[in-house]
Amino acid sequence: MAGINSLNAVNNYSWLFNNNKSKKQDSVSQLWNAYGNFQNNATSSLAGLTEINAGLKNVMASYEDAKTSFQSEFSEAMENLSASAEKIKGYNFNVEKEGAITVTTSTDDKGVTSSTTTYSKDMQAALDAVKNFVDDYNSAVKFFGEHSSVSKRIEQLATTFGDTTYHSANYSSIGLLTNSDGSLTINEAKLADTILNDPDKVSSILGKNGLVGKTESHISFANSQADKLFPTAEEMLGDQIDTASLYTGKAYRNMAAYSNMGNLINMMF
């Protein structure tokens, strides 16, 4: 009887031991499965965060390219306009009247009459000086107009350089026509005639107290705003840049750390 009782006792303890072992294995299995699910999710999250990080880098690279391009175009536009304005400001529009403007008329074999206008060297030089200035002014108007939606400061400069419309009557009286955006178009025949017959008027309207003087004031104002015209990345991209930075910073490192939890579980069991 004692032997049988001892055997039964062993069997009882064996059942208890095996049962505890089984429970322990089940717990480990459940923990490992839970970790496996977590690791899969973590891996997916890491892949997503990696993609966000790469996207953010691309966006920032594009931002830097756009900013550099803008600043380069801005500097070139202001330098060119400043140089042509300086030339006009001190230009002597008194040209030799004799031969300044020559109009030649001819008739072809079909009886069609046409005329050709040629200018003296001095007159052509005067016209070219005005043309260069107008071209550079129009380039500045176009530049600020095309970028006016980038920032309020650029929009303000687009309005500033477009203010030729307020003096359109004066400008048209010497052959400069103003367009709705503030750019200028030259009526060459009228400009040449005014240079020939009233050079002082041309100097007054275009010179330091006229359009060129206003232009230099505009250039000075624009240059004083140069480092503030193009918005910062945060201003341009808004909350998205902060969100992307958050997910690619601390969160990324945390997810990487979580993915190493399996090593700890392996050592425990």
Q: Per-residue pLDDT averaged across 86-113, rounded?
A: 88
Q: Which of 139, 147, 143, 153 is nearest to 227 (CA)?
A: 153
Q: 149, exposed or middle or buried, with CB in 10 Å at 0-12, 13-18, 19+?
A: exposed
**pTM strictly above 0.85:** no
- Within a domain: residue 117? yes
Contact 127, 195 (CB under 8 A): yes
Residue 58 scores a pLDDT above 50? yes
The tokens describing 181, both together, are 């955006």
How many other CB atoms are found less than 10 A from the CB of residue 75?
A: 12
- Within a domain: residue 2? no
**Looking at residue 38, what is its pLDDT?**
55
Which stretch of DSSP H or E encloses residue 177? strand 176-178
Q: Which of 180, 187, 152 is nearest to 166 (CA)?
A: 180
- Within a domain: residue 3? no
**Looking at residue 266, what is its pLDDT?**
46
- Within a domain: residue 221? yes
The tally of domains found in the chain comes to: 1
- Within a domain: residue 7? no
- Within a domain: residue 173? yes
How far apart, in whole angstroms, are the C-alpha atoms of residue 183 and residue 215?
12
Residue 196 scores a pLDDT above 90? yes
**Looking at residue 254, what is its pLDDT?**
44
Contact 133, 85 (CB under 8 A): yes
Q: What is the CA radius of gyration of the chain?
A: 40
- Within a domain: residue 140? yes
Structural domain for 239, as ranges: 12-268
Least confident of 36-50, 109-123, 195-209: 36-50
Q: How do residues 249-261 score in pLDDT, each as one tens digit?
A: 444 444 444 444 4
Q: Which of 219, 196, 198, 216 is nearest to 207 (CA)?
A: 216
* Helix ranges (DSSP H) in 90-151: 121-146
- Within a domain: residue 5? no
Question: pLDDT: is 92 or 36 the higher one?
Answer: 92
**Looking at residue 49, what is its pLDDT?**
56
